[in-house]
A = this chain, B = another copy of it.
Amino acid sequence: MARGDGLLNHDLLPGEKGPQDECGVFGVWAPGEEVAKLTYYGLYALQHRGQESAGIATSDGARINVYKDMGLVSQVFDENTLNSMHGQLAVGHCRYSTTGASHWANAQPTLGPTQTGTVALAHNGNLTNSADLADMVTAKQQAEGGKVRGEIAQGNTTDTALVTALLAGAEGQSLEETAMELLPKIQGAFCFVFMNEDTLYAARDPHGVRPLVLGRLNRGWVVASEQPALATVGASFIREIEPGEMIAIDENGVRSTHFAEATPKGCVFEYVYLARPDAAIAGRSVYESRVEMGRQLARENNAEADIVIPVPESGTPAAIGYAEESGIPFTHGFVKNAYVGRTFIQPSQTLRQLGIKLKLNALETVLRGKRVVVVDDSIVRGNTQRAVVRMLREAGAAEVHVKISSPPVKWPCFYGIDFASRAELIANGAAVDEIATSIGADSLAYISEDGMIEATRQPRERLCTACFTGDYPIALPNEERRGKNLLERSNQPGCEPGPDSEFENVS
């Protein structure tokens, strides 16, 4: 797979997007600091988690202000906008979402009324009982005389809009009370970062599927999807928000309450691909996990070869581990354009036929005549790998052995990742040797499930491995629809999938 943020991610091969992962959430409580800008930088560090819309809400203690739009964080916000967003606390969000004006409303943070003011909510994850929540909203509206308030009234029907609407609460209820009442009723994977005028809240589902961390500014506190966002804004890591925990941050400091017992099921795919390599999850370095996956891959599936190269950037740590364990020299076989990821002009069909290569360029002098092990983190549809193998062969590689540092992805994720529809998953219809043939490789090997899990240093029972095993730890929505409709397309309202990459030309 190839997406590539930081060392390791961000769409780099056109024609295949990585998993449409999730969203990034960020919150800051820091009176006296420029909270909008801190949120901006925090989202910039979380950009790899969602590149299609970005938003920030700030509160100056009396009023909440929100600004959100389609695009990268750096495209959505300019200096003037940020400067106009005064406040003491803020929440921000970046997400995958379908492009186009009609989906603007789906950008986050989402606003809604509370008994005393406004709530702004940012969400990373995916809920599995949206239907129940929608019923609750309907019931609530009827009880209140049909008044529909908040973004849901404007047609926003996402998970996030439902939760925001329910946070309105009942008369006399504080936001905190409402949240403590509501959170146990929400099923699925969620990390909510929300605030009213004066308090920042963060809540993580009882399974802790997605990461959420607490950090310390010199004079304030930060919550973020991943640890590197803390470093980016100059905050130090304190701890993870615990599964089933809600924290509140205001002038009294950090208060913690648990709305449910923790039954941790951390997403193993965060270790494999989603999180930044400089993140740590449940105390385990993601980079180290990936290097170890590469080592394990070499132990399990060594090959006779001359060089080990990564599919940049996401395959790099595993390739380093593979090379170390196998003794085969590590080198680069591709150069990635440093400006990949910027929005730019799409090649027309005519241009595509010329064979435009905007992302990767193979290093012929490195590859010619060589038996190449090329390491990637995962295979979803197989298109990236097919393009990679073709480029390697065109550059003269004698043999191409593809090594994948995760097992075959066979099952959709209902907890916040949009891999593809199940039918699109190549491993869901082809055996390993068939996939090898399909992508044109001399050989193909995946790491074993055990090997992958061992590399995360987490007990198996504390991980969600559903995309590899089909073993879903959280009840799926409307079980009866499972076999047929729902698995067709894994995209859920929490983080809607975009269409395929705008870069459909493969190389």
Contacts and interface: CB of A to CB of B under 8 A. Distances in A.
A110 interface: no
Given A338-B341, A437-B237, A312 B7 contact: yes
A44 B172 CA distance: 55
Interface stretch (A180-188, A260-268, A327-335): A327-335
Nearest to A276: B335
Interface in A235-261: 235-239, 249-254
Given A38-B351, A251-B488, A489-B251, A383 B231 contact: no
A394 B251 CA distance: 31
Given A252-B488, A440-B236, A381 B347 contact: no
Interface stretch (A97-105, A150-158, A354-362): A354-362
Q: Interface of chain A, helix or strand or loop or mixed? A: mixed
Interface in A108-155: none
A320 interface: yes
Nearest to A215: B438
A40 interface: yes
Interface stretch (A29-37, A298-306, A471-479): A29-37
Interface in A25-75: 29, 31, 33-34, 37-38, 40-41, 44-45, 47-48, 72-74
Nearest to A5: B338
Contacts of A239: 430-431, 434, 437
Q: Looking at A33, A291, A438, which has the most chain B CB atoms within 10 Å of its CB?
A: A438
A401 to B, nearest CB: 13
Q: Looking at A332, A364, A439, which has the most chain B CB atoms within 10 Å of its CB?
A: A332
A350 interface: yes
Given A37-B345, A37-B351, A231-B357, A394 B44 contact: no
Contact of A342 (B8, B72, B219): B72
A486 to B, nearest CB: 10
Given A232-B356, A234-B356, A252-B488, 11 more contacts: A6-B335, A6-B338, A10-B338, A34-B348, A72-B342, A73-B344, A251-B422, A253-B410, A253-B423, A254-B430, A285-B365
Give the 8 A-B CB pairs with smallest separation, nearest first. A254-B429, A253-B428, A234-B354, A234-B355, A236-B438, A285-B365, A278-B335, A6-B335
16 contacts: A6-B338, A15-B218, A37-B348, A74-B344, A218-B354, A219-B420, A236-B437, A251-B421, A252-B422, A252-B483, A252-B487, A254-B423, A287-B332, A313-B338, A338-B341, A352-B353
